[in-house]
Amino acid sequence: MSYVPLEKLIDKSHGSMYKLCVLVSRRALELAEGAPRLVDVAPDTKVTTIAMQEIADGKVSLDL
């Protein structure tokens, strides 16, 4: 299981934990519905972890 540090994620959501939670949940839902993964991870990785990794890598961003 991979670990994505919160410090790396909170900066991507402009310092808002609420916005981060919304962004992760929306992306995880997209992944669960069949959207392609934007990062290389093990096939058994949970969609929330994949979403957090994509956000941390800057492949998914917050639209304001």
- pLDDT tens-digit series, residues 1-57: 577 888 888 888 888 899 999 999 999 999 999 999 999 999 899 999 999 999 999
pLDDT of residue 1: 53
Spatial distance between the Cα atoms of 32 and 63, rounded to a whole number of angstroms:
21
Q: Determine how many CB atoms are found less than 10 A away from the CB of residue 1.
A: 7
Spatial distance between the Cα atoms of 46 and 26, rounded to a whole number of angstroms:
14
Is a pLDDT exceeding 70 seen at residue 64?
no
Q: Where are the alpha helices (DSSP H) in the chain?
A: 6-10, 17-32, 47-56
